[in-house]
Amino acid sequence: MERDLSGDACCTGRSRRNFLASAGTAALAAGVGPGTLGPVLAATPDQPDSAAPAKLRPFDMADVDLAESPFLHAQRMTEAYLLRLQPDRMLHNFRVNAGLKPKAPVYGGWESEPTWEDINCHGHTLGHYLSACALAWRSTHDRRFKQRVDYIAAELAECQKASGTGLVCAFPKGPALVAAHIRGERISGVPWYTLHKVFAGLRDGALLADSTTAREVLIRLADWAVVATRPMSDEQFEAMLNTEHGGMNEVLADLYFMTGNADYRTLAQRFSHKAILEPLSHERDHLDGLHANTQIPKIIGFERVHEATGDAAYRKAASFFWQTVAHTRSFATGGHGDWEHFFPMAEFDAHVFSAKGSETCCQHNMLKLTRALFLQDPRADYADYYERTLYNGILASQDPDSGMVTYFQGARPGYMKLYHTPEDSFWCCTGTGMENHVKYRDSIYFHDASTLYVNLFIPSTVRWADQGATLAQTTAFPETPSTSLRWTLKRPTDLTLKLRHPRWSRTATVLVNGTQVARSTNPSSYVALTRTWRDGDQVELRLEMHAAIDRAPAAPDIVAFIYGPLVFAGALGRDGLTPGADIVVNERKYGSYNDTPFAPPVLAGDPETIAGSVRPGDKPLEFVIAAADRQPVRLIPYYRVAHERYATYWKLGSADA
């Protein structure tokens, strides 16, 4: 979350506190993006004519089951955390602002503590929590999640009734702060950023948890926004957008799809930041120095506004942004940025080893954008990025033991992952983290009328009701580079099955019922199998995983090790790290927690050939590599690193050093 009051994000020299001041940005962006809502929206009878029809549709998460895997474990950990949290504590300041007596004490961290009073993000957690409970309900049909959505929606309706306005918020002096922001006064905080989380949570409650109360509260809130901003000139509006405002354009476009009310579409366009839209729509990368997570939710909104208006400039901006961030600005893990900001890639060596690289919200939001673009333009390139970031950014972000999640996932050699506390942090990444792990099933499979796409190799089953078909995927991936799929069909059925041939595999071989039927030597594509499928037909996809390196063009001697889609980190032990010391309150102090001196191993060799020095280790998905100054280094998947020092990037010494 960005904090500079000017809203001008180019401030790499500024302190972390300053960054945080401005904007409520995007760090918090909500978890259910256009993609997640796609199927629900597409089924809405009043979908306006101007909507650009998506090429693909996702499956309803209720039609996908996860089998045992690290993903299902992560989901269960988040479910437990969601059920531990108390809605009345998150509602505390919403009731205060509405003149009602709170029912329970407020939570700590960003929700109330003076350390973060400059960002004024009180209440953002409730929005994420609504989204997360709606996602968890859709994924599991555990009624406790729906009850929480319905309860919170009813409480917010009560706040609207008591205050006599549609505005529901929890930051101090809420209505006055928003009014001052709209008048163009200098304020402390990021009201639209925080409100976007509430908007998005209500949207998800309405669409995923079928909460009519959430829908009613959302429409009152949106109508308040329409009226409150109507007097603003375009110039005043654009000036306001210099302050972080999350994905307000996205959620307003969604509201247009939900209701057909053109006021919301107009407001979605007004909330589209022209200073960002204009250069991107001309394929100009002006991102150096900009606060990353302030921008990504705007871009997701650009894509959504394109779908609502048909205006090609929005689509061009969204796809160009994705291209430049995913292909030229990302680390091997799919993350990006240093101190939350995009940096000039020519200065890669000065930023890569930061303890404050790769804010996890940015990966959350890049996946939302990736998914939205993939639905419109189903290229394997999008799915490749999705897989890489899902393993190395999202799955990697959760402590498998506590269920808490990271803020930064930096590459300072020998540093460690730090996770939030259950009740005293409530960072932006806590919020997006609540959503990340209860929606894994939303991006494994996609379909059009007669084609089923298999994008991810995660043990799971998908039911395709329209075709009377069920496809079960059994796999030990990534421990083995293959996956098996089995059809259950009511009758012989003509369908196309599209299997992703990932970028990281030189070949893809497909067998049907034990006989080879296709072999692809074209990585980052799909193998299409069109045939009459019969009940019990068995499909096997065989891939190849190789040790390789990933590096930035500007720093060819700084490498990360990869194997298939996975980043392999040096596992560097627990010296100086006491149990529990990686659960921390304050995300601004990343880099100073557990800051005991530590000398990481030195790896030496030629970057062109060093991947050949990687040797198999004792267990599956473990490798070793010789160090120049000590015993060999154990390499393990970065997503498995927890409670341990690690290195993901290495500056190679010369072999004779």
Stretch of 59-67, 176-184, 203-211, 352-360 contacting Zn ion, by CB under 5 A: 352-360
- CB nearer to Zn ion: give 273 or 420: 420
- CB nearer to Zn ion: give 428 or 549: 428
* Three-class SS state of 570: strand
Cβ of residue 68: shortest distance to Zn ion, in angstroms? 29
At 345, give phi and psi (nearest 5°): -70, -20
Is there a contact between 515 and 537 (Cβ–Cβ < 8 Å)? no
Cβ of residue 243: shortest distance to Zn ion, in angstroms? 17
Cβ of residue 23: shortest distance to Zn ion, in angstroms? 12
- CB nearer to Zn ion: give 118 or 535: 118
Measuring CA to CA, which residue among 590, 620, 517 is closest to residue 358? 590
Stretch of 21-29, 85-93, 295-303, 576-584 contacting Zn ion, by CB under 5 A: 21-29
Question: What residue type is assigned to position 152 of the chain?
Answer: I
- CB nearer to Zn ion: give 150 or 250: 250
Name residue, tokens 């084609």.
451
C-alpha to C-alpha distances, 163 to 91, 94, 157, 194, 523, nearest whole angstrom: 15, 10, 10, 19, 58
* Strand pairing class (493-501; 451-454): parallel
Measuring CA to CA, which residue among 242, 206, 208, 243 is closest to residue 222? 206
The residues in 469-528 that bind Zn ion, with binding defined as CB under 5 A, are none
Cβ of residue 209: shortest distance to Zn ion, in angstroms? 24
Cβ of residue 428: shortest distance to Zn ion, in angstroms? 3
Stretch of 20-28, 221-229, 411-419, 571-579 contacting Zn ion, by CB under 5 A: 20-28
Mask for 374-413, x = binds Zn ion (CB under 5 A): ----------------------------------------
Stretch of 19-27, 42-50, 51-59, 203-211 contacting Zn ion, by CB under 5 A: 19-27
Region label for 639, one of left (φ > 0), alpha (ψ between -120 and 50) or beta (otherwise): alpha
Kindly state whether residue 361 participates in binding Zn ion, applying the rule CB under 5 A: yes
- CB nearer to Zn ion: give 92 or 364: 364
Cβ of residue 178: shortest distance to Zn ion, in angstroms? 22
Measuring CA to CA, which residue among 398, 441, 395 is closest to residue 66? 441
Cβ of residue 432: shortest distance to Zn ion, in angstroms? 6
Stretch of 212-220, 260-268, 360-368, 624-632 contacting Zn ion, by CB under 5 A: 360-368
Measuring CA to CA, which residue among 618, 589, 619, 614 is closest to residue 603? 614
Cβ of residue 480: shortest distance to Zn ion, in angstroms? 34
Read off the DSSP letter of residue 214. H
**Tokens at 137, concatenated:** 């309900």
The residues in 413-472 that bind Zn ion, with binding defined as CB under 5 A, are 428-429
**Tokens at 279, concatenated:** 């250069």
Is there a contact between 90 and 111 (Cβ–Cβ < 8 Å)? yes
Cβ of residue 361: shortest distance to Zn ion, in angstroms? 3
Stretch of 22-30, 125-133, 155-163, 231-239 contacting Zn ion, by CB under 5 A: 22-30
Whole-angstrom distance, CA of residue 562 vs CA of residue 559: 10
- CB nearer to Zn ion: give 72 or 429: 429
> How many chain residues touch Zn ion (CB under 5 A)?
5
Cβ of residue 340: shortest distance to Zn ion, in angstroms? 8
- CB nearer to Zn ion: give 253 or 361: 361
- CB nearer to Zn ion: give 123 or 166: 123
Kindly state whether residue 27 participates in binding Zn ion, applying the rule CB under 5 A: yes
Cβ of residue 590: shortest distance to Zn ion, in angstroms? 11
Measuring CA to CA, which residue among 53, 65, 191 is closest to residue 122? 191
- CB nearer to Zn ion: give 428 or 462: 428
Kindly state whether residue 119 participates in binding Zn ion, applying the rule CB under 5 A: no
* Three-class SS state of 653: strand
Question: What residue type is assigned to position 162 of the chain?
Answer: A
Cβ of residue 360: shortest distance to Zn ion, in angstroms? 6
- CB nearer to Zn ion: give 250 or 550: 250
Cβ of residue 215: shortest distance to Zn ion, in angstroms? 28
Give the other-Cβ count within 10 Å of 111's Cβ: 24
The residues in 283-312 that bind Zn ion, with binding defined as CB under 5 A, are none
Per the DSSP assignment, residues forming a β-bridge with 560 are 550
- CB nearer to Zn ion: give 193 or 199: 193
Stretch of 26-34, 96-104, 250-258, 383-391 contacting Zn ion, by CB under 5 A: 26-34
- 617-641 burial, b at 16+ Cβ within 10 Å, e below that, comes to beeebebbbbbeeeeebbbbbbbbb
- CB nearer to Zn ion: give 249 or 409: 409
Give the other-Cβ count within 10 Å of 487's Cβ: 21
The residues in 213-252 that bind Zn ion, with binding defined as CB under 5 A, are none
- CB nearer to Zn ion: give 357 or 564: 357
Stretch of 42-50, 128-136, 144-152, 354-362 contacting Zn ion, by CB under 5 A: 354-362
Stretch of 45-53, 111-119, 356-364, 367-375 contacting Zn ion, by CB under 5 A: 356-364
**Position of minimal CB gap to Zn ion:** 361
- CB nearer to Zn ion: give 427 or 453: 427
Cβ of residue 582: shortest distance to Zn ion, in angstroms? 17
Stretch of 64-72, 149-157, 359-367, 556-564 contacting Zn ion, by CB under 5 A: 359-367
Whole-angstrom distance, CA of residue 482 vs CA of residue 541: 5
Cβ of residue 587: shortest distance to Zn ion, in angstroms? 8
Cβ of residue 233: shortest distance to Zn ion, in angstroms? 32
What totals of helices (H) and strands (E) does the chain contain, helices first?
20, 22
- CB nearer to Zn ion: give 256 or 408: 408
Is there a contact between 264 and 225 (Cβ–Cβ < 8 Å)? no
At 72, give phi and psi (nearest 5°): -65, -35
**Tokens at 31, concatenated:** 């978890």
DSSP 606-640: -TTTGGGG-EE-SSTT-EEE--SSSSPEEEEEGGG
Measuring CA to CA, which residue among 419, 428, 339, 422 is closest to residue 584? 419
Mask for 171-200, x = binds Zn ion (CB under 5 A): ------------------------------
Q: Please, what is the Cα angle at 317 between 363 and 395, to 5 degrees?
A: 10
Which helix (H) or strand (E) covers residue 560, if one does?
strand 558-563
Measuring CA to CA, which residue among 480, 485, 476, 491 is closest to residue 453? 485
Per the DSSP assignment, residues forming a β-bridge with 446 are 58, 453
Cβ of residue 492: shortest distance to Zn ion, in angstroms? 49
- Count of alpha carbons within 13 Å of 208, Cβ hemisphere only? 40
- CB nearer to Zn ion: give 133 or 361: 361
- Count of alpha carbons within 13 Å of 156, Cβ hemisphere only? 33
- CB nearer to Zn ion: give 29 or 614: 29
The residues of the shown chain that bind Zn ion, judged by CB under 5 A, are 27, 359, 361, 428-429
